[in-house]
Amino acid sequence: MIRFSPAPGLSVVLVPVLAILLTLGVWQVKRLHWKTELLTQIEHSKSLPPTPLMALLHEEAQGREIAWRKAEVRGRIADKPVRFLHAIRNSQPAMHALAPFITDEGVIIVVDFGYINAAIKPDYRLPRTGQSVTLHGIVKPVRKPGRFALENQLDGLWFWPDTTTMLSPFFASQTMEAYVLGLEGGRLHSDWPEPAPAHVRIANNHLDYALTWFGLALAAFGVYLGWHVRNERLRFSGPGN
C-alpha cells in the first residue's frame, strides 16, 4: 500500500516546472523532425542537376518544394547598390555581396555572389559584365530573424538577407522574395567575389536537447519524490501494515 501526503507548497512549485521542461522537450522533438526532413531534402537536392529557374517556378506553382534545389539563371545584374551581409569565414569577420539579378524572362531574385574582404570600402560595386551571363546556384529560403537579432543597417552592414527591401524597386515585376540564389563553384569572373560554400553543415542536435529537457523533468520529479520519502510523506507498506 502506498501512503502519500503531498506537500502543498512543493507540489505547486513542481507543476509549472514539469510543464515547462516537458514543453521544451516536446518542442525539441518537433524541431528534430523538421531538421531531419530539411537535411534529407538538402541531400536529395545535391544529387539533382541544375534546373532552369522558370522550370522551378512552375514546379512551385504545382505545390512542389524548390528550396535547396540547384538552379540555372541567365540574365544581368541589376544596376543597384550591393548590400553587404555579415558572415564568419575561417573564424574571421567577412561579408557576402548581395545584389538583385534580372533573368532574361524578367524574374528578379537576390543573388549571393559570395565573400568579399570585410575591410573593403563600403562603396564597393559589383563589376558588371555588360552582357547576359549564366549563373548556377542553390535556391536558399530566406528565414526571418528572431526577436533578438541585430537590425540591418539600411545603407551599411546587413545581418540577414532582407530580400523584400532589396527587391522593392522591382515590385512591378515578378520577384522572388522568399529565396536567395547562392552561387556555387568558382568565380565566373576574376574580379567577382568568391562564392561561399553552397551547402553549409547544418547541425542537428535536437535529440540531445530533447533528452536533456526530459532528463531534467525526470530529475525534478525524482527530487520531489525523494523529499517526500525522506520526510515520511510517501511510504510504502505491505498488506495489513
pLDDT of 120 over the 70 cut: no
pLDDT for position 26:
96
| CA 19, chain centre distance (Å) | 28
pLDDT of 121 over the 70 cut: no
Q: With bands split at pLDDT 50, 70 and 90, how would you rate the model's confidence at 35? A: confident
- Indicate the average pLDDT of the chain: 86
Number of C-beta neighbours around residue 60 at 10 A: 17
Q: How far apart are CA 112 and CA 11, in angstroms?
A: 54
Q: How far apart are CA 29 and CA 127, in angstroms?
A: 46
Rg (CA), the chain: 27
What are the sequence ranges of the domains in the chain? 2-32+205-236, 69-183
Say which range, 39-48, 96-105, 132-141, has the weakest mean pLDDT. Answer: 39-48
Q: Report residue 45 as a C-alpha cell.
A: 537536392
pLDDT of 60 over the 60 cut: yes
Residue 94 identity (one-letter amino acid):
A
pLDDT for position 200:
60
pLDDT for position 199:
60
